[in-house]
Amino acid sequence: MDFTQALETDFIAQNHPLFLQLARRLNLTITEENETEILQALAKWMQCILTTPLMAENPLCFAQIKMQDRLNEMEFFFKITHKFNATKFNKLLANYHHLKTEPLELGAFKGMMHGFIDLVFRHEGKYYLVDYKSSFLGASYKAYQNERLQEKMQSEHYDWQYLIYCVALHRYLKMRLPNYQYTQDFGGVIYPFLRGMNGTPSQGVYFDKPEEALIVGLEELF
């Protein structure tokens, strides 16, 4: 989907097959009588997702991101040639990470790490990574405010996930951008909880930009 279409009047017509597919994935029964109503509701929800500002003090939203500034499903591989050190991992998080969780307990290992980042995009010279979440946290928008999102990030260790993603994107940008600098070129991490986005700035959206020392230190472990 072209995110910028969210601002156009024929949004449903341009994405009709996609909305039908979404309805099926949500187990919604579509008939000739209710198709228009259901697709309008899905389009309204999608527009809320695409027009919700992603950061509290920044009007940036998905609808502003053009196709040429997106990299969907960025694939990465880490070849771990030396034994992974969980003790160093835990020490780095204790020193530099603002979300506090129990230590990682994992034996030393070698091998390959393989993953995909849902979306990487560029905006005003900075690069952001996105991982979409469809988790149900509650029936009201209050369940998707910042404090509750932090709790979810910690309980599911999504923060460990995005720190690995940060290392992957950091390495990629170092290879692709002349004079790359983390503080200047890396914009941050965005975890949009889709069920909680209603157009209010940062509603349903978890944002973070890890400290450079943390990412540099983690890179040495992978």
Which of the residues are catalytic? 131
Q: How far is CA 128 from CA 29, 40, 57, 119, in A?
A: 36, 30, 16, 8
Q: What is the DSSP string of 66-134?
A: -GGGEEEEEEEEEEE-S---HHHHHHHHHHH-SS--PPP------EEEEEEEEEEEEETTEEEEE--B-
